[in-house]
Structures are given as C-alpha cells and as structure tokens.
Amino acid sequence: MGEASPKFWQMGLLGYPLGHSLSPRLHDSALQAAGLAGEYRLHALPPDAPVELERLLDRVRRGEIDGLNVTIPYKQIVLPDLDELTPAAGAIGAVNTIYARQGLLVGDNTDAPGFLADLGRVTGWSLADLRPAGRVLPTALLLGAGGSARAVAYALGTAGWHVWVAARRLEQARELTTSLRKRISAPIHHLTLASLPVLFNAVAPKFDLLVNTTPLGMAPEVAASPWPERLEFPLGAFVYDLVYNPPETALLRAARGAGLSAANGLGMLVEQAALSFERWTGCVASRAAMYRAVSSEF
C-alpha cells in the first residue's frame, strides 16, 4: 500500500463584507512557515443567509473545514449554533474562532489573549501580570463598548486591572460592564464619551492605559478620532489603538504629539490569528512570518 497523502488544511474567515481582510495572507504565511499544505478562504455571507451559514458550520462539524475565524457581524450571531464555548468566549459573549471537537462545534475567543500578548510586547510590561512598574492596581480607559471592547475589558479585568469603559451610548457601556462584573473580580465602571471632560475636570483620574476599540480613524475616514477635542490626554498613559490601517491614526498622532508612547493594533491582529492557527493545527505559528506577510500593506 502507498503512503497516505499529507493532510491538506482547510481554514477560512466568516463575515460580511470581507474585501479588506488580511487573514488569508496571515494564515497562508503561517501554513508555509510550519510546512503544512492548506488554504485559507473567505466566506462572505450576508447576515440574512441562515441556510448558507448552517451549511458552512456543518462543514466544520464534519471536518471538511478545520477551523473558521469569525468577524463582523457574526461574532455573536453564531452563538446559538455552537455546541459549547470556551470560558473566555462565554465570558466575553462573542467568538472569533470556531473548530470541531468530537463532532461538537466549539467557539473560542483569541482576541483577549491576543491583545494581552501584544500589549506586553509593545509596552515591555511583564507578561506575568501586565502591570506597569510600581502600580498595584493599574487602570485602563477603553473607548467604545462593542465586541472588541468586551474582549479587551475581559482581558484586562482578568489580569487584575481597574477598567473604565466610555461609549457614545450609555446603555451599551452599562450592558458591557454589568455582564463582565459577573465574570471578573477587578472593578469595572462605565460612562459616556461626552462625560469624559467632566470626569477629568472633577477628579483627574490616573490612567496607565488608553485603548481605542472603536473603528474611528480607520481608512478612509482617517481624520476621525474617538478622543474628545480639547481634552488633554491622561499624563503618562500608554495609548493603544486597535485600528491598524492607517498605521498612524489621528489618535496615535495626537497622543505622540502630547509626548505619550503609543501603538496600533496590527500586533493584536497577528497574535489573535496566530492563536487561532495553533488551536486548529496544534503547530506553533510563526509570528515573524505573519508580520512579514502583512507589513508590506502599510
């Protein structure tokens, strides 16, 4: 008998629209670096296509597809179709990674650990607890209360950070903090973006980290910024913008102009993709190869 053919890995991304996605470049480079044969395909399904979604997930369940990444608008839509969630995905209430285990569909979220890994890389803060030197209870201010904010808030909260969530709509911020208080022991509070000047003028809070989780500043609307005009940045804070296109957003430019250290979200994109790849294949993903694959874009 002849030798069995090597496995051909089938992976992909579920979302809509997907024309801008860098995921194929990231995962194709990871496959090549690991010496694996395979492909990464885009599955652009409109949110009103339940039959097509069921068929796609059935392919994962049967092992025809080894893993799916999930992006807008499906991170929460797919939850009822999954058999189980990892603790992180259950706490965050959203998934970005799907795979099958013994015929069951499992939803995971690698955004949270991906964010923490890159935050440690760009700040030099200890990966053991991600705390700035000398800060017993570090404090972070998150701008936005969507799915990405939930992952970042959960990541920081489980690492022992004091988290503030500021969103345009108070009810959205309140829902996020209320749900996460059941999952993390660290303090978490909410307020509106419009009330940030009042907070700063009243108590001048000490923030070690400012994170933009909104799409404001993303191409083509590169002049937009989530930070209120004429409001000074928190002194000494590190500014992290999940937006990576353009590489320097209006927020990052203003923060650096104010003398603050800052980074964009390209590293988080790579880290969350690498962690998904490792969940599916059991092989270590080459972060260096993945960075090289997308760095030419910017």
**Looking at 7, 75, 182, 206, which residue is catalytic?**
75
Same fold for the pair 8-109+272-295 and 113-264: yes
Angle in degrees, CA 12, 180, 200, rounded to 5? 110
Over residues 28-36, the mean pLDDT reads: 98
Domain 8-109+272-295 listed as CATH 3.90.1170.50: no
Q: How are strands ordered across the β-sheet holding 67-70? A: 37-44, 8-15, 67-70, 97-101, 104-108, 84-85
Of 72-76, 108-112, 129-133, 157-161, the least confident: 129-133
What whole-number distance in Å separates Cα of residue 278 and Cα of residue 7?
Answer: 16
**Segments making up each domain of the chain, as ranges:** 8-109+272-295, 113-264
Predicted local distance difference test score (pLDDT) of residue 40: 98
Active site residue 75: yes
pLDDT digits (tens, 9 = 90+) for 204-221: 678 999 999 999 999 889
What whole-number distance in Å separates Cα of residue 192 and Cα of residue 236?
Answer: 22
Structure tokens at 1: 């008998």
pLDDT digits (tens, 9 = 90+) for 234-267: 999 999 999 999 999 999 999 999 999 999 999 9
* CATH number for the domain formed by residue range(s) 113-264: 3.40.50.720
The residues with which 10 forms a beta bridge, in sequence order, are 39
